[in-house]
Copies of this chain bind each other. A is one copy, B any other.
Amino acid sequence: MPHSYSQLLQIIEHSIKSNPFKGKPENLYAPLNYILGLGGKRIRPVLALMSAELFSDSIENAIPAAMTVELFHNFSLIHDDIMDKAPLRRGKSTVHTKWDGPTAILSGDLMLVKSYEMLLRCEQKYWPSLLRIFNKTASEVCDGQQMDMNFETQESVSESDYLVMIKLKTSVLLGCSLMMGAIVADADDSNCTELYNFGVNLGMGFQLMDDYLDAFGTPELVGKQPGGDILSAKKTVMFIHTQKHEPNKLKSIVEDSSLTNQIKIESAKSLFIQTGADEYLKNIATNYFNQAVQNLKHISVNDFRKLELEKLLVYLQTRTK
């Protein structure tokens, strides 16, 4: 039987805890272990292992590939937090807050180098395919983050531009995780490509649901105050849709300094519902999830092996946190 999500999560946690980074100067290496120790869903490495398990009964070989994407993801978290001036990550101080900006830049750089080192622990015969998709993805994630930053000061952003941005910033790394897991489990090219597309579509649905929950999630479940995107006037699909139907109304709510944050958030949410932005977004998300279902169908392995990926897909589509 394939491992469940929580079993795979344990394998990843164990791998992280039993291989802490060691090196000098200590204040360069401590941030690496710190951010990796903050936990999280570990969705990327879990996807890599699930993907490997579609084709192989042993996931041992896929652990370095899984860790590669987790290290890369953590590199991007360290640097994104500096760029976004975020004080907290998972309720704890971000690296640049706990240490300082320069240390955060450099430990992020080191984490990126370490992700390449980790990739090279995979069997050498897989290097060309692994490096091809990993380099492409790494470069695209940078593109996506820059687009995201550019959008902040851009007067208007089209829905398609926003979708391209989240694809590059988030979804391609999920596709890459699945593809790398498949590669080291000797999947053929067609299955690798299908898994990549599955990951990208899953990632799109995942990020869109994240945007939905940022507005409509309950704080107790989400674990953070919702409404962050509303207060920063982030040009999400709901924002763009609402702008189209009620031009400037959203902006005037967010910019009205006589309103409390809570009232701004509630008013924006009412406006989202009024213009149908929430349902509009969920529709788009559903389309991506449905495409992911199709991708999964096309993967030529026994259906029982696909069970965990199917369960994950349903979970991501229906989650409330």
Which residues of A are interface residues toward B (Cβ below 8 A)?
Answer: 23-25, 27-28, 75, 79, 82-83, 101-103, 105-110, 112-114, 116-117, 120, 124, 127-128, 131-132, 135, 138-139, 142-143, 145-147, 149-150
Contact = CB atoms under 8 A, between A and B. Distances in A.
Contact of A27 (B107, B112, B132, B146): B146
| Secondary structure class of chain A's binding surface, majority of residues | helix
Given A102-B83, A103-B149, A135-B113, A28 B124 contact: no
Given A25-B143, A116-B116, A127-B127, 17 more contacts: A25-B147, A25-B150, A27-B146, A75-B109, A83-B102, A103-B146, A105-B105, A106-B142, A106-B145, A109-B109, A112-B112, A113-B138, A114-B139, A116-B135, A117-B135, A120-B131, A124-B128
A106 B146 contact: yes
A127 to B, nearest CB: 6
Copies of this chain, tallied across the complex: 2
A139 B112 contact: no
A257 to B, nearest CB: 26
Contacts of A103: 146, 149
30 contacts: A23-B143, A24-B143, A25-B147, A27-B146, A28-B146, A75-B109, A79-B105, A79-B106, A82-B102, A82-B105, A83-B102, A83-B106, A102-B149, A103-B146, A103-B149, A105-B105, A105-B108, A106-B142, A108-B109, A109-B142, A110-B139, A110-B142, A112-B113, A113-B138, A116-B138, A117-B135, A117-B139, A120-B131, A120-B132, A127-B127
